[in-house]
Structure 1
Amino acid sequence: MKDLLIEAIGKKADKDIYILGKGSTIDEFDLGALKDNIIINTNDTELLLPGEICVFHHGWVLDVLEQKGPQAKLYISDRSVVGADSSISAEYVANNPDNADFLLNRFYSSDIHIESSVLISALKIANLLSKEIGSNKNVYLLGFDFTVKTGFTDQMPIHMKESEKEYVEKTLKAQEHLLEMLLSEPDRLSINIKHVGARPYSSFTVDAFKKLTDTNRYSDIYNISSRNKEDSIVKVIAEITTNHFGDRERLKSMIIASKVAGADYIKLQKRDVESFYSQEKLASEYRSPFGNTFRDYRHGIELSHDDFLFVDDLCKKLGIGWFASVLDYPSYLFIKQFDPDMVKLPSTISEHTEFLEAVANDFKKDVVISTGYTHPDYEKFILDTFKNVRNVYLLQCTSAYPTANEATQVGVIRHYYNLSREYNNVIPGFSSHDIGSLCSMMAVAAGARMIEKHVKFGDVSWSHFDEVAVDLVNGDYAKVVDDIRTAERIVGSEIKEVHSTEHHKYWVNK
């Protein structure tokens, strides 16, 4: 059986796996661009894009195959496919209360069953393939919308009568529940399941996934042009934080999109999960694609040493800087090994003065410090503590998500600008939690030389600071960067000069 699976995928063992459904969102993808990957068809989706493996149960699929001829390399079913190159016969397990509880046991067994949810069977095949290949493969679910309300693909006939819609809706919801059961136990899986859609557990929106495939198509991503201006003095930071969700492909796309939008740096985040939070907090219930506890979630979105090496290499080749917020001393030491040009000490740890002092005594390059939720005495502490570092980027910040325009206190940036005249290593800036770009533009006018803005990759509901994060996918972030650069041009130089466009003047007769 395993030999047949490996034989079916041929030379694609190093490729990602795509499982195709028939929801209406499938029509938004360029499926032809996926043909070099491993494709698993469910039911008759080979009419959309013939794959290596097809999994099905229903008899009407045989009628479709008879009309079009079988195109997949391997069929897995409880039915015989006439004319198939290769097939595996599997027992069909109907969905009923007596066996539903045993689905997970069947999923992790070495035997193949055809479940009432063919998607689960397809995921089982993907899981077996991953085990056999010896690496945890990414498995993307396309066209699984789990509702009849948004319709189905327009590219092929749908075998459903009007009277069946309510029944099909309940069936789809049952299938979705089974998928959520699998997603709740990521540690047991040999695959990384990535649903594409608008569900609470989705890894990508449709638009974000399309952006992901676009960036992966660059023949030479290291020659990507940037919208940045060489004469810009304001450093613009795309604050990714943890909105990469621990996914390297998403992270890569976010870095590329930030570069294209014109950002000077991307910023990540690092914390030592087990020591930063209480054990009670870590054990608390928290639903995410990584599991059902807050510990699962936090570990799932943390980047590894190899991930940071990847970031460092990618950013150097792209020509964009990177740094990270460090929330505790172990994380500071972790990030320090990459020899960063700057580190960030966020507002959230402003009361951890021993940690801040330890960084000040050890790190002599640039330090970025946000002042959200602090009083003027914190400013004095920073000025006294960090007087020996190369530069202190002092960022006005209001720790509200989102921040109302009236609460951004852009005037504080002018105060920091005046401080910079007295303290040579102080550089004023703004950490923006407001909506839009007006306050960032005003921050430039007030003297800001660094502006941070949270970014995300598609509108995924569990994004970090989702309300204030600006989307890299739909062009919103590029618009923010453009507005900041426009503000720079409007502010211009502090040295008064006569412009060539000036002409109205009453000259004194001599």
Structure 2
Amino acid sequence: MESFSTQIKNIFSKSKTDRVYVLGKGSSLGKIAKSRLEDGVVININDSERYYAGDIALVHSLWAYQSIKDNGFKAGCYISDKQMPESINSLQVPYSPDTYETTESYLFSAHGDELFISDFLFLSAIRLGVVMAKELNKKLDIYFLGFDFGSDSNTTLIQDFSGHSQQFRDAVLRTQEDTFIRIKSYIEAEVPSINLIHVGRKPYSDISIGLFNQGNFIDFVEHKSNNELYLSVKDKILAGIPMIVAELTNNHIGDEKRLRTMIRMAKDEGADIIKVQRRDVNTFYSEAELMRPYISPFGNTLGHYRRAVELTDDLFKVLIDECRKNEIFWFTSVLDKNSYDYILQYNLPLIKLPSTISNHRNYLKHVAETFDGDIVVSTGFTDKEYEDFVLNQFTSNNRLLYLLQCTSSYPAPPDACNIAVIRHYSEIRHERFPNIIPGYSSHDVGALASQMAISAGALMIEKHVKLGNLDWVHFDSVALDISKGELKSFIEEVRKAAVICGEKEKKIHIKEHHKYVPNKMNN
């Protein structure tokens, strides 16, 4: 049998990339396109070979061994602390138990170049990655797929043969997840020989499953510019396809990782556009308002809160970078002139003037006169007079004017949604202003009002999103929690409404048929 060093070199000689794919057993693994695994080296954890047999399998538990045996030993090579059958290409290595005291330095230093099997096999996979990188004298990108760290029926792809209770599995998985997060952070700072990349929809994920399947690996593809992405969005809208805007408001709370996660997850859940907000806190609010009591983790005044959660120069760079990587268009609400002047540096093809500033007429006129791009206007807390003002100010050139029906109530009750206004905007579009795009800014609960908005002609649906509950964040109560898949469900329902609406032209549909075929002789 070849030495393991030789086997590693042979395995990588057949690989088209320096990517390593480590396969867990979470249900997200089932969403991974198997064809994407063919260009790298695949490491199976336990019996994940039942989904896709890789080049190397790491095995520790007897139940996993039995499952693999029943499956017919499909992986190319097995590494285990147990002795495998002589007919199987395998390497027996020492067992190193995981303990609470196990530290990163122990994991990556004390063992030298030795391979070992631990209770948490993803640690063994990381260790193997470090050894392989050193053996090959190159940096490896190690992607973790199917590591959902959940054990219920909705999050486990392959049947669990361990015999452990659900309660025990949940406790183990929570501990594993905590360990994974800690080790991932350590590697980013201290282990230059490998990149550890989590694929999924966790807060610490680096790339979504959707982008992984598209081949959009981190920093390895040329991405479209924000303006190019908007042209694609615009073309779809003009073709009658409704676009969904994920409104982040300030739910990123000024945190880079949280902002990246929200962008990535919103795209993965089906959003077409990301929207943020920009306000100059010091001039938008009076000094008295900034001193008003407001309890948040950042202090006890509104000023403390607002200054902490606004996007800084650095966070705008993060926003641009993450939207570029995920190929999703972004734009922003601009609430004051200082913010408008600031945002011009980004050459945005679209900005929004929200309901909040509908009485700031001089500022709105200034934007109408100086901005060359398309504009979104929400009409919450306004009436016919504001509609006339907007139509007069923003339809004088060839721009698109997205006119969004909105009810400034959080949440908006059903009798306040006034979806019929969207039908009115559609009539204005067809009768007077063809560049108007009707839409709906949803502050209601559920998807029904947005579905009805689609039937009334809405081509842009805006919905607030959040990442978990933060009761001290404005509008958190009406936001959809992307960590629970609420945005995905909402978008699916809205898309369903668009399908049901169909086309305006009356014609015989291909799916139509008569229950009884008439007798041609009697016609």
> With structure 1 as the length reference, what TM-score do the two structures score?
0.59
- Out of 242, 245, 255, the residue aligned to residue 236 of structure 1 is 242
What does 1:44-193 align with in structure 2 at a 5 Å threshold? 44-58=47-61, 71-78=74-81, 82=86, 87=91, 89=93, 92-97=95-100, 99-100=101-102, 102-103=103-104, 106=107, 113-125=116-128, 134=139, 138-141=143-146, 144-146=149-151, 153-154=158-159, 158=161, 160-161=162-163, 167-182=168-183, 188=189, 190-193=195-198
Contact 1:139/1:191 (8 A) holds in 2: yes
Structure 1 pair 79–362 and aligned structure 2 pair: CA distance change class (3 A): farther
- Relative to structure 1, the CA distance from residue 480 to residue 364 in structure 2 (aligned partners, 3 Å threshold; closer, same or farther) is same
Name the residue aligned to 2:42.
39
Could you give the per-residue CA deviations for residues 280-328 of structure 1, whole angstroms, max 9, x where no partner exists? 98979xxxxxxxx9799x959954358549848xxxxxxxxx6733544
1:367 aligned counterpart, secondary structure = strand
Amino acid at match of 2:403: L
Distance, in Å, in 1 between the alignment partners of 2:79 and 2:120 is: 14
Q: Does the C-alpha gap of structure 1 residues 236 and 143 become closer, same or farther in structure 2, counting only changes over 3 Å?
A: closer
CA distance in 1, matches of 2:237, 2:169: 59
Q: Secondary structure in 2 aligned to 1:304?
A: helix
Distance 1:230 1:182, change over 3 A: closer
Deviation of the 1:369 alpha carbon: 1.3
- After superposition, where does 1:97-496 map in structure 2 within 5 Å? 97=100, 99-100=101-102, 102-103=103-104, 106=107, 113-125=116-128, 134=139, 138-141=143-146, 144-146=149-151, 153-154=158-159, 158=161, 160-161=162-163, 167-182=168-183, 188=189, 190-195=195-200, 236-241=242-247, 266-269=272-275, 302-304=318-320, 307-308=323-324, 311=327, 324-327=331-334, 328-329=339-340, 332-333=343-344, 335-336=346-347, 340=349, 342-347=350-355, 359-372=367-380, 382=390, 386=394, 388-391=396-399, 392-399=401-408, 403-410=412-419, 412-413=421-422, 427=436, 429-433=438-442, 434=444, 435-437=446-448, 441=452, 445=456, 450-454=459-463, 465-466=479-480, 471=488, 475-485=492-502
**Cα drift, residue 134 of structure 1:** 4.4
Give the Å deviation of 1:253.
Answer: 6.7
**One-letter identity of the residue aligned with 1:430:** G
Aligned to 2:509: none
1:55/1:118 contact within 8 Å kept: yes
In structure 2, the CA distance between the partners of 1:233 and 1:7, relative to structure 1 (3 Å rule), is closer
* In 2: Cα distance, 1:171 partner to 1:231 partner: 47
Q: Which runs of 5+ in 1 are unaligned?
A: 218-225, 259-265, 285-292, 313-321, 491-510
Partner Cα separation in structure 2 for residue 182 and residue 369 of structure 1:
46
Q: Do the aligned partners of 2:377 and 2:403 also contact (CA within 8 Å) in 1?
A: yes
How far residue 161 of structure 1 moved from its aligned partner, in angstroms, is 4.4
- Secondary structure of the residue that 1:482 maps to in structure 2? helix
Aligned partner of residue 54 in structure 2, secondary structure:
coil
One-letter amino acid of the counterpart of residue 145, structure 1 = G
CA contact (8 A) 2:97 2:119 kept: yes
CA distance in 1, matches of 2:75, 2:309: 42
Give the 3-state SS of the residue equivalent to 1:93 in structure 2: coil
User: Partners in 1 of 2:327 and 2:157 — Cα distance?
Assistant: 39
Contact 1:236 1:451 in 2 (8 A): yes
1:34-91, CA deviations, whole angstroms, 9 ceiling, x for partnerless residues? 65154221134334432123223346666777787765445444456556657584x5
Q: Distance in 2 between matches of 1:136 and 1:300?
A: 27
State the Cα deviation string for residues 239-263 of structure 1 (Å, max 9, x = none).
Answer: 2456995699878877xx78xxxxx
What is the CA–CA distance in structure 1 between the aligned matches of 2:278 and 2:140, rounded to whole Å?
A: 26
Cα offset, 1:423, TM superposition: 8.4
Equivalent position SS for 2:42: strand
How far, CA to CA, are the matches of 2:76 and 2:56 in structure 1?
6
CA distance in 1, matches of 2:363, 2:133: 43
SS at match of 1:471: helix
Change beyond 3 A, Cα 1:68–1:150: closer
**Structure 1 residue 193, shift from structure 2 partner:** 1.0
Provide the residue aligned with 1:318 in structure 2.
Answer: none
Question: For each residue in 1:394-421, what CA deviation from the matched residue of structure 2 results, as whole angstroms up to 9, or x when unmatched?
Answer: 2221245654321213355477678879
Question: In 2, Cα distance between the equivalents of 1:230 and 1:172?
Answer: 42
Q: 1:138 to 1:348 in 2, by over 3 A?
A: farther
Amino acid aligned to 1:191: L
Equivalent position amino acid for 2:173 in 1: L
Match of 2:11, SS state, is helix
For the structure 1 residues 147 and 250, does the alpha-carbon distance in structure 2 shift closer, same or farther, using more than 3 Å as the test? closer
Deviation string 1:217-240 (CA, Å, 9 cap, x unpaired) is 9xxxxxxxx9x9999886622224
Could you give the per-residue CA deviations for residues 324-353 of structure 1, whole angstroms, max 9, x where no partner exists? 33544477435526xx3x443444676888
Q: Is the 8 A contact 2:376 2:404 kept in 1?
A: yes
* 1: CA distance, partners of 2:279 / 2:183: 24
Letter in 2 for 1:476: E
2:57 partner SS: strand
**2:242 partner SS:** strand
SS at match of 2:380: coil
Q: Which amino acid aligns with 1:115?
A: S
Q: 1:473 to 1:192 in 2, by over 3 A?
A: farther
SS at match of 2:243: strand
- 8 Å Cα contact 1:76/1:88 also seen in 2: yes
Q: CA deviation at 1:30?
A: 7.8
Aligned length: 432
Deviation, 1:426, is 7.6
